[in-house]
Structure 1
Amino acid sequence: MDQLDHATRDDRRAAAEALLPELEDAGVVGVALPWVDTSGITRVKTVPLAKLPSAAAWGVGMSPVFDGFLLDDSIVAGRFAGSAIGDLRLHPDLSRLTVLAGQPGWAWAPVDRYTQAGVPHVQCSRSLLRRLVSSLAEEGYEVRGAYEVEWVVGRPDGLPDDPDAFVPALTGPAYGMTRLAEVSDYGRDLLVALEEQGVAVDQFHPEYAGGQLEISVGAQDPVGAADTALLVRNTITAISAQHGLRVSFSPKVTADGVGNGGHVHLSLWRDGENLMSGGDGTFGLTAEGEGFTAGLLAHLPGLLAVGAPSVASYLRLVPSHWAGAFAAWGLENREAALRFVTGPDGNRQHAANVEIKSVDLAANPYLLMAGCLAAGLAGVRAGSRLPDPVGVDPASLSDEGRREAGIRPLPASLEDAVRAFESDEVLTAAFGEELAATVADVRRGEIALFEGVSPEGICRAVRWRH
């Protein structure tokens, strides 16, 4: 992304002006301009519809202080973030402008953050992801990806003596038809809204935890996948509010619960061919597909600093809970951190992908996807190879058995993940000095925030933030 010159600004203004009649006909009066901060919280400014051309050309002002925000809205005075001095410009991406079916009168367009001089802000996660997509393209590769979104719906008033308590709004069994019947109207409205917004839903179903549901969407380019994850979550929140439900995407809603994941599915492509299939490697992997997957596995400890970025994440990331607590991979192994998916016979060239199970929805989806691309590309460049796949729950093996199989436990705390991130030269180089430092500073700010707090207290504090 180059510096914005006057010709580019004029083109953006003209494109926005061309959209106004259609948006007016749709009843739009305001446009939400969201971005995601380092803590994974979606922040927003809005403009009246008439101001959209100006916003497209010149952006909307916003302080860079949000790079240092924690999930409770306190601010870390980091090495490169957390200052109230200066200003940035939020520039909407009109190619993703969407009329919000669940919020009548509103449209939505994710933003790229620029400096006042018109250059991409060094800590803009969406701009970072764009750059890494370009790096892959320069070497002839593209990645297709998608986020799974898990959430729980609760009763809006909690308990009589604790209005912020989580009381599941659904009583049916995990994956049960009874639970689907309970949310029949809600699910219908959600699917309709997503379809009207152009989101290709693959699956919608009840999940395991109390009050838990999940949506899977079609694979897209990496920036599109992160944008869609943001839009899906916003739509879920809006439709839930219409139905009088409270929604949480937190990695750990209650201390004794299973938690919400935010799994990422990725496949590497070249010249229209899926490199996760059709090769001579294990399960049909090509050499490049194996290198990409091996890169993810090798850098997964550091990736958790952006993919499992909350203290609460490590209450979820425990063995034998389908969370992927060990650095291992396997075919359809839901206890391995990387679950390899071939898809059914006859459709493998289209469907084969790798799923990262250790991550959750406290993550900034742009930062996480950027880290995945950097790790995967490093593996391709190095010609990395995978260890033997694991066909059992790694927790069922002895410590010696895991050592012999080369299976490592993933970081068991946010501090461990931050240290792994800081020592990972691939990830820190891809993020750049300022953004890498801010990731570490914000993570340690949350660690300090929850120092000495019980698991129950942590869950309560994060429950309605994500």
Structure 2
Amino acid sequence: MGELAPRQSNSGDVKILETFLARNPSVEYIRYQWIDYSGLLSARVATKSFALSLGRKDSPLTIPSPILTALIIDDSLLFEDIEVGQDELFADWSSLKVCHYAPKHAMVMCFVKEGGRKDGKGFRRCPRSRLQELCSSVKGKHDLDFLVGIEVEFYIFDESSGTPKPVNMVAHAYSAASINNKYLPIVEEIVDCIQKVGIEVRQFHSEGGPGLFEISTQPMAPLQSADALVYCHETIRNISRKHGLHGTVYPKPFEKLSGVGSHIHLSISRLDKQENFLAGLLENWRALAAFYMPNFDSNLRLRPEEQIFWGLQNRTATHRKIKDGHWELRSVDATANPYLAMTAILTAGMIGLEKEKSLTMKDPKKMVFESMKDDEATDLGILYKMPTSLKAAIDSLKAAEELKDALGPELIDRYVKVKTKEEENFGKLIGSERREMSMRVF
């Protein structure tokens, strides 16, 4: 595919910014935001006047090259990849939102154009650009649309003593007792803040841990859903901090308590192609884990020897079919770059659709709390298991030739390099050190 121009998403329409500022006179600062290959949300804060001057001149904000693909969670850099030159942030003004969790601030998500002197790839490594490009291409080629809803899970916990501690509340999932406490107003404030910017929340409830909650968003187009998830995460962190607590979406904050997922509800409009699409997802799901479970400790929230399979209304399946063309993808966690993860997941599904892969795997039609025996799994066409480590996920990705070809070497090579370095660095730490480091940013 050719290089994406950010104009395709109204990035250059400064009238959106001017109208927004007129309607929100309290806004003084604009956060230019992007998510890098480590899954970290980054921001440059521009004054209102500077953002307007950039917009009116149709100019990007510049950052060091290639900060998008060279920064590790532990704040180390892949120094060998740092180059002379700079990258450019093109604000997508259609994503502009008031930061109701941060007075005077608004945020805008950006397309990142690499301009490094030797190895700049334009927009080809930008996750947000690639997701937009993919959805546009699929619509034009196959008249197919996607909708994505997210189950946003998070812990609220207390770290006033210097050590993370669960809050004191009833931990029964869904029970009324688990929301009849002083933390309910905090969750309500989070939901109110999210809804004020037009992100529709369907419901919220407690999960199976003290301080563990879930907020479900209304399905949106993939790009807008990823933007909404970024806003939700920032709201959770900032509102929790306002009340003297810590909010995290890290997958395993407490060793003996429930993990934190970020389940995706994915729908496709072409029901005649749903089995081909699902076949592509299942075949590549182990390799895709490098994108949707990218933290060193992501696998800690999974059952041992968890198998990859689909099932109708089966919450023990990695792919729960809810109805025709609608699945819940239950393996995903919130340390993933949502743009990268969704691009990779949709690409895998489209491989199945375009190559007309047959869905040979059968629904076991039962809950699977422990792995099925090999002969039973083989009879059902269940051939793969979830990776048990980040290294195993990376190795699976490196072996997935169709997926790698579809995503392209410019994305795959650098992503594998970043995650391999991250795995190496985190492997030298003990679990508490890894948790502390990741929970600072997730």
TM-score by length of 2: 0.90
Q: Does the aligned pair in 1 maintain the 2:209–2:258 contact within 8 Å? A: yes
Q: Does the aligned pair in 2 maintain the 1:13–1:54 contact within 8 Å? A: no
Displacement, 1:385? 2.6
Aligned to 2:45: 46
Displacement, 1:396? 4.5
Distance in 2 of aligned mates of 1:148 and 1:424: 28
- SS of the residue corresponding to residue 254 of structure 2 reads coil
Q: Does the aligned pair in 2 maintain the 1:128–1:431 contact within 8 Å? A: no
Displacement, 1:136? 0.9
Q: Does the aligned pair in 1 maintain the 2:131–2:339 contact within 8 Å? A: yes
1:21 aligns with 2:22: yes
Q: Give aligned-pair identity as a percent.
A: 27
Distance in 1 of aligned mates of 2:210 and 2:184: 17
Distance in 1 of aligned mates of 2:436 and 2:98: 34
When residues 93 and 119 of structure 1 are mapped into structure 2, their CA distance, relative to the original with a 3 A threshold, is farther
Distance in 2 of aligned mates of 1:123 and 1:339: 31
Any idea what the Cα deviations from partners look like across 1:313-358, whole Å, max 9, x if unmatched?
A: 02222349xxxx321010122221111112xxxxx7xxx6111111
Distance in 1 of aligned mates of 2:83 and 2:297: 28
Q: Does the aligned pair in 1 maintain the 2:310–2:318 contact within 8 Å? A: yes
Q: Does the aligned pair in 2 maintain the 1:329–1:336 contact within 8 Å? A: yes
Any idea what the Cα deviations from partners look like across 1:235-255, whole Å, max 9, x if unmatched?
A: 111211222210111111122
Aligned to 1:370: 343
1:135 aligns with 2:137: yes
1:166 aligns with 2:142: no
TM-score by length of 1: 0.86
- SS of the residue corresponding to residue 109 of structure 1 reads strand
Displacement, 1:21? 1.9
Q: Does the aligned pair in 2 maintain the 1:295–1:379 contact within 8 Å? A: yes
Aligned to 1:383: 356
Distance in 2 of aligned mates of 1:395 and 1:70: 35
Displacement, 1:15? 4.0
- 2:274 pairs with one of 282, 289, 293: 289
Q: How many residue pairs align between the two structures?
A: 426
Distance in 1 of aligned mates of 2:240 and 2:386: 34
1:356 aligns with 2:332: no
Distance in 2 of aligned mates of 1:31 and 1:341: 40
After TM superposition, the structure 1 = structure 2 runs for residues 287-366 of structure 1, keeping only pairs within 5 Å, are 287-319=272-304, 325-342=306-323, 353-366=326-339
CA RMSD of the aligned region, Å? Answer: 2.3
For structure 1, which segment, 11-20 or 414-423, has the greater mean C-alpha deviation from structure 2 after superposition?
Answer: 11-20
Q: Does the aligned pair in 2 maintain the 1:148–1:216 contact within 8 Å? A: yes
Distance in 1 of aligned mates of 2:394 and 2:115: 31
Aligned to 1:284: none
Q: Does the aligned pair in 2 maintain the 1:250–1:464 contact within 8 Å? A: no
Aligned to 1:95: 94
Flag structure 1 segments of 5+ consecutive residues without an equivalent. Answer: 276-286, 343-347
Q: Does the aligned pair in 2 maintain the 1:251–1:261 contact within 8 Å? A: yes
Q: Does the aligned pair in 2 maintain the 1:308–1:314 contact within 8 Å? A: yes
Flag structure 2 segments of 5+ consecutive residues without an equivalent. Answer: none
After TM superposition, the structure 1 = structure 2 runs for residues 87-236 of structure 1, keeping only pairs within 5 Å, are 87-115=86-114, 120-138=122-140, 139-157=142-160, 159=161, 163=162, 165-175=163-173, 176-182=175-181, 183-236=183-236
Q: Does the aligned pair in 2 maintain the 1:169–1:245 contact within 8 Å? A: no
- 2:376 pairs with one of 401, 416, 420: 401
Q: Does the aligned pair in 2 maintain the 1:113–1:124 contact within 8 Å? A: yes
Q: Does the aligned pair in 2 maintain the 1:29–1:49 contact within 8 Å? A: yes
When residues 149 and 66 of structure 1 are mapped into structure 2, their CA distance, relative to the original with a 3 A threshold, is same
When residues 432 and 403 of structure 1 are mapped into structure 2, their CA distance, relative to the original with a 3 A threshold, is same
